[in-house]
Amino acid sequence: MGIFDKLKKIVNKKETTKEEQEIQDVYEKGLEKTRKEFVSKLSLLGVQFTKVNEEYFEALEDLLISADIGVNTVVQFIERLKKRVGNEKIEDTKTLNEIIIDELFIIYVNNETLTTKIQMNENGPTIILMVGVNGVGKTTTIGKLAHKYKEQGKKVMMIAGDTFRAGAVEQLKIWAEKTDSLFYGQDHIDPAGVIYDGLEKAKENGAEIVFIDTAGRLQNKVNLMKELEKINKVIDRIIPGAPHETLLVIDASTGQNGIMQAKAFKEITNITGIVLTKLDGTAKGGIVLAIKEEVDIPVKFVGLGEGMSDLQTFDIEEYIYGLFKDMM
């Protein structure tokens, strides 16, 4: 069964649990801007072109690029689509819409078993290192993730490793207070030293999840690489095998610039997952597909609103459903 048929079943399913319905609603609302922009134009293509031809493919290519799916991804996608159209002898654009949805899903999954789960440490605290340029919502993301784990009954701690940016330590401390999390931080001293002391306190206090904030200065990659290398060594010394996750926070509304950031950070440290913030604030939600295709790092969380509970574990089926529900 293709993803289109699976999603149709979701639409027609009479019984969903309250939790499933809430998640669907968040995705549906959060992807509204992209859906209105993208799906309405896709539907118009079906009116403009009754037959699938070269002009249709050119118009579709432009539409996909405008949704920020990324030029390389779009070119490969169109090639795959043309192949399927030829093999399955598809002529009408309505049938092709179903194939488009299927193929977008296939591009993301790419025959892999993708996991959005956070790798938990069975023997002590789980350390999650947060990286990303300034202004992408890194500190707010830590707050929302802390809230998520606090609701699961976990003991959470935040360590302020962004020690030189004005107000960064205080900002994280406020989030710790808001979420009733433990906190450690000091201004204007070596980040690795703060993290060392913070992790010792995390162990003493029995913290189960520890979020470490870091500086986001990408202007000088060499300096940042050295700083992150030092931080990683310190973390591993205190908690062998840590960090268990290094999450890169990207603002979805920055589009292709966000992909450039992902490529840059991938060069300087081992990124295990991506958090896409502000996906609800952009009509270019196709960035989810572009990031996976261009940097091959799974999206683990998406920001679909400003509320504490609007940071969702990424689900590719819910994402595709949120984009295309109007066509089901």
Q: Are 65 and 71 in contact (CB under 8 A)?
A: yes
Whether the upstream peptide bond of residue 125 has omega within 30° of 0, thus cis, is: no
- What confidence score (pLDDT) does residue 251 get? 95
Decide which of 247 and 44 is more confident. 247
Residue 129 has pLDDT above 90, yes or no: yes
Q: Are 277 and 247 in contact (CB under 8 A)?
A: no
Residue 106 tokens, joined: 């296939």
Q: Are 126 and 120 in contact (CB under 8 A)?
A: yes
- What confidence score (pLDDT) does residue 112 get? 67
DSSP per position, 124-167 = SPEEEEEE--TTSSHHHHHHHHHHHHHHTT--EEEEE---SSTT
Q: Are 23 and 312 in contact (CB under 8 A)?
A: yes
- Give the pLDDT band (50/70/90) at residue 3: low
% the chain with pLDDT above 70: 94
Q: Which residues pair with 213 in a beta bridge?
A: 130, 160
Residue 6 has pLDDT above 80, yes or no: no
- The residue assigned the tokens 């949704």 is 67
Residue 13 has pLDDT above 60, yes or no: no
pLDDT in tens, 190-216: 999 999 999 999 999 999 999 999 998
- Give the pLDDT band (50/70/90) at residue 180: very high
* Residue 252 vs residues 69, 202, 208, 221, 289: alpha-carbon distances, Å: 12, 32, 29, 22, 12
Residue 100 has pLDDT above 80, yes or no: yes
Domains and CATH numbers, the chain: 3-109 (1.20.120.140), 126-315 (3.40.50.300)
